[in-house]
Structure 1
Amino acid sequence: MLCFNVFFFNLYIVVINASSLLNIDDFLNLNPNSTTSLLTLFNMTRCVETENSKLTLNIITDFYKNMPIKWRVQKHTFYDSGYEFNNLIVTLPHYNEYDYEDTVFQFPKCNAIGLANDLILAVHYDTIANIPSFVGAIDSAASIAILLFISLQISEDSNELRRKNLKIIFFDGEEAFGKWSESDSLYGSRELAKIYNENGLINKIDLLVLLDLLGGVQSRDSKSHTIFNYFPETTDYYKQLLSIENDIYQSTQISLLDPQMSNVNIMISDDHVPFRKLGVKCVHLIPLPFPAFWHTIDDDFEHLDINIIKHISSVLLKFSKKFVAFKKIYI
């Protein structure tokens, strides 16, 4: 299923360059006729090795190359189990004063990136292959749009100094081709974690925040789907997210995090696992229980809640800005 118009995207690139005139409602909406919605760009299947997968990667790549501020774009291609996979890693260095483009996967060597550690925000962009016409609205089109929105908002702060590099990683091959197992799942994150470890860069990651299954409509019980604090080593980061959510509650009237800080001893197999096994601190933004339409044909855009998507975007944007510690540069 292909729901994409090249002419529309060319117009959208123009919109990016005028983004300061727009607000969150312009970028995050479910209007299929919108010329600014980030969400509707990904209302399509995105199975590994398909034309839609390549199109998704091209959309994201073009998005970052047309930012008001330059991001480093790196495509990481590898082969496993007879498939070609493509991760995409985009980096905003802590001090944006460099001029080069690199779409060939090489680890950063310039001082602007190397002097600071990384905050990584991550998501997988592939969709499960064994459900025809499955678009994966929560799995993970909404999360892709959230990260693009955050990137665009941060790009508006072009004259600011950051203590951390901000990396946005789009993993390919999260879904299993057959029955989920350690060898048939998490292809992109397993390969990238291995390379980071081999190159000595795993210790440069201060925090990895993984988004998954976000933005779905809630059931009658508003607390039926909660994003818990899954790991004790990142409790302080979870508290920061909870504090930000509390601060904006009056305007959003949405509460997704667990104010009780419950002890949830659950291991969810997802793209953070290969990194956490290597000692990386991880925050897993995923609701429990999973939405009832997870891995069904009903995981479509009609089952998205735009207010929840905007709420998560606002919380994570504030958290990310605080984490990388923006400071004005006075010249």
Structure 2
Amino acid sequence: MLFAFALLSLGSWLGRLAYAYQDLSDETLKKLPGPGDDFDIKKGSILAPILVPRVSGTEGNAAVRQHFVDFFKTHLPEWTISLHNSTSTTPVSNGKEVPFVNLIATRDPPGTAEGDVSRLALVAHYDSKYTPTGFIGATDSAAPCAMILHVARSIEAALAKKWAATPDDDLDAEHRGVQILLLDGEEAFKSWTDSDSLYGARALAEDWETSFHMASSTYRTPLDSIELFLLLDLLGSKGPKVPSYFKTTHWAYKHMANAEQRLRKLGLIKSSPNHDTKMAKRENKKPRAERPFLTEAAKGDDAFLGGFVQDDHVPFMARGVEILHIIPSPFPQVWHNIEDDGEHLDMDTVEDWTKLVMAFTAEWMELDGFFDAPAKKLTVDAEKSEFEIP
């Protein structure tokens, strides 16, 4: 990631502001499931397999991609999975073509045509940096990938319940889906340039620009189908501060900031000094000052000066896709250092980002009221030899 400057245009997004967005009730916010042991850095079924070196073109990269494929096949069989392949030489490949493979997972309403569905795209890169040797990239971007997988699994039942409850004659109006892009080759192999970075993103954006839907379709190309490109990167360190980078998607940033504020008010943000478990340990129960992740909800239109961080969104933004970039500024201290590993993740913060992205996704998809209460675990009282529900 590098900082860059560009002039932003309102583009076609102004015509899309009528897009519905329904806030979740407090009751639904409380029902959003956490990842539990699935985010254990050693044995967690979602996160642990990603916490390995996974440089593009290596066995580690292929193993992580297979982990993603297996996850969707096992837990989300209703999602459509595809792989986008490309090759390129790199500054360290000595003229050899290196493969880059993007994974695309899509969940559209039943019975809808490919070109008639608008989508929220949840995006992260899954490759790790070529140097230093053994680099894991836990924040960059193993944890964001794990967050997205958990969000997808957590909203699936609510999506299915909503669509099942929608009368067939109303499904024509329910042309809104979710797409996950796990991109390969974001990292530079030598030094960041336009040609040594964003390998998978550049190839996918270029291909989708000329992959046309049927002439009668609502959306001309897969790029046109993306209503919002929500890119997660460098998440998982304690105390992040994420600016609002783009004027045309500041409204979406404000919705996410509002969800964060409400989660904090309900005591559901684990890294908060006012989380239930921390409040219980304090003699003085007076709430402490919150330090929100999303710090610029009140940012005015005249404060957008065109600065942004170069990342996987750039080839898509250049083709008119609207971007909400969730990346801290400043970057985490572990950025591109060997210490960016599982042990240096702040797991409360990882879970908080997961819940926040889930809340935003659920609001975008208007899933309020469709989440079931989390299942309670049965425990055994050794003395009474009977089951109890805590």
Give the 3 Å change call, closer, same or farther, for CA 31–284 of structure 1 in structure 2.
closer
Q: Distance in 2 between matches of 1:213 and 1:232?
A: 22
Structure 1 counterpart of 2:361, one-letter code: S
Give the 3 Å change call, closer, same or farther, for CA 25–189 of structure 1 in structure 2.
closer
Secondary structure of 1:292's aligned partner = coil
For residues 160-206 of structure 1, the C-alpha deviation after alignment (integer angstroms, 9 at most, x for no partner) is 22541100001000011111101110011111111111123322111
Structure 2 counterpart of 1:227, one-letter code: V
Structure 1 counterpart of 2:295, one-letter code: D
Corresponding residue of 2:152? 151
Secondary structure of 1:156's aligned partner = helix
Give the 3 Å change call, closer, same or farther, for CA 85–229 of structure 1 in structure 2.
same
Corresponding residue of 1:203? 224
Corresponding residue of 2:318? 277
Identity %: 31
Contact 1:127 1:139 in 2 (8 A): yes
Which of 173, 191, 203 in structure 2 is aligned with 1:179? 191
Q: Distance in 2 between matches of 1:25 and 1:276?
A: 31
Secondary structure of 1:237's aligned partner = helix
Corresponding residue of 1:256? 293
Give the 3 Å change call, closer, same or farther, for CA 327–137 of structure 1 in structure 2.
closer
Corresponding residue of 2:40? 30
Could you tell me how far 1:274 is from its partner in structure 2? 0.7
Tell me the number of residue pairs that the alignment of Structure 1 and Structure 2 aligns.
Answer: 286
Give the 3 Å change call, closer, same or farther, for CA 216–327 of structure 1 in structure 2.
closer
Secondary structure of 1:154's aligned partner = helix
Could you tell me how far 1:260 is from its partner in structure 2? 5.2
Q: How does 1:309-320 map to 2 (within 5 A)?
A: 309-320=350-361
Contact 1:28 1:145 in 2 (8 A): no
Q: Distance in 2 between matches of 1:128 and 1:229?
A: 26
Q: Distance in 2 between matches of 1:211 and 1:68?
A: 21
Secondary structure of 1:209's aligned partner = strand
Could you tell me how far 1:318 is from its partner in structure 2? 1.2
Contact 2:231 2:323 in 1 (8 A): yes
Secondary structure of 1:267's aligned partner = strand
| Pair 1:226 & 2:241 matched | yes
Structure 1 counterpart of 2:126, one-letter code: Y
Could you tell me how far 1:69 is from its partner in structure 2? 4.8
Higher mean Cα deviation, 176-185 or 198-207?
A: 198-207
Secondary structure of 1:118's aligned partner = strand
Give the 3 Å change call, closer, same or farther, for CA 287–28 of structure 1 in structure 2.
farther
Structure 2 counterpart of 1:315, one-letter code: L
Corresponding residue of 1:125? 126
Runs of 4+ aligned residues of structure 1 deviating over 6 Å after TM superposition are none
Structure 1 counterpart of 2:197, one-letter code: S
For residues 130-180 of structure 1, the C-alpha deviation after alignment (integer angstroms, 9 at most, x for no partner) is 211100000001001100000110122223225411000010000111111
Corresponding residue of 1:6? none
How well do the aligned residues superpose, as a CA RMSD in angstroms?
2.0
Contact 1:94 1:112 in 2 (8 A): no
Contact 2:229 2:324 in 1 (8 A): yes
Q: How does 1:1-331 map to 2 (within 5 A)?
A: 23-30=33-40, 32=42, 34=43, 36-81=44-89, 82-95=97-110, 111-157=112-158, 158-161=160-163, 163-199=175-211, 200-218=221-239, 225-250=240-265, 251=267, 252=269, 253=272, 255-259=292-296, 261-262=298-299, 263=303, 265=305, 266-326=307-367
Contact 2:362 2:368 in 1 (8 A): no
Could you tell me how far 1:94 is from its partner in structure 2? 2.3
Q: Distance in 1 between matches of 2:64 and 2:133?
A: 18
Secondary structure of 2:182's aligned partner = strand
Contact 2:243 2:296 in 1 (8 A): no
Q: Distance in 2 between matches of 1:48 and 1:124?
A: 11
Contact 1:134 1:296 in 2 (8 A): yes
Q: Distance in 1 between matches of 2:52 and 2:354?
A: 22
Q: Distance in 2 between matches of 1:302 and 1:327?
A: 35
TM-score by length of 1: 0.81
Larger radius of gyration: 2
Could you tell me how far 1:28 is from its partner in structure 2? 4.9
The gaps in structure 1 that reach 5 residues or longer are 1-21, 98-110, 219-224
